[in-house]
Amino acid sequence: MLGALTLLLVFQLIGEVLAQLFALPIPGPVIGMALLFAALALRGGPSAELRDTAQNLLQHLSLLFVPAGVGVMLHFRRVGDEWLALSASLVGSTVLTIAVTALVLRALSRRAGRQGE
């Protein structure tokens, strides 16, 4: 548990340092994820400890968004004034994005599957 958590933090740290060093537009944790994925591919998979720790952390991923979500109270006035435009935009755009992404991916992976056969 402790070793695995340290490993995750080390990869995040490397990611943050690279992002700062090269002024990358990608957040440090995302770079850390890519690097850890590459390391796993080289090493041939995670240890049981790392797998368990990741599972524990990801099981309650939702919890980690709660503090930022409570920040809505800072914007009550703006949200109140523009509620219709904001909700129309969020609902419309989110549903559209899910539908478009899923349809494109399904169409393309079917085609790729047929070519591979």
Subset of 35-64 contacting another protein (CB under 8 A): 36-37, 40-41, 45-46, 50-51, 53-55, 57-64
- Span 89-108, contacts to another protein by CB under 8 A: 89-106, 108
Asked if residue 80 binds another protein (CB under 8 A), the reply is: no
C-alpha dihedral, 72 to 76 to 82 to 92, nearest 10°: 20
What's the CA gap between 9 and 71, in Å, rounded?
Answer: 26
Single residue of 22, 23, 116, 117 touching another protein by CB under 8 A:
116
Q: Is 5 exposed, middle or buried (0-12, 13-18, 19+ CB in 10 A)?
A: middle
Taking the complex as a whole, how short is the minimal distance between the CB of residue 74 and another protein, in angstroms? 6
Asked if residue 84 binds another protein (CB under 8 A), the reply is: yes
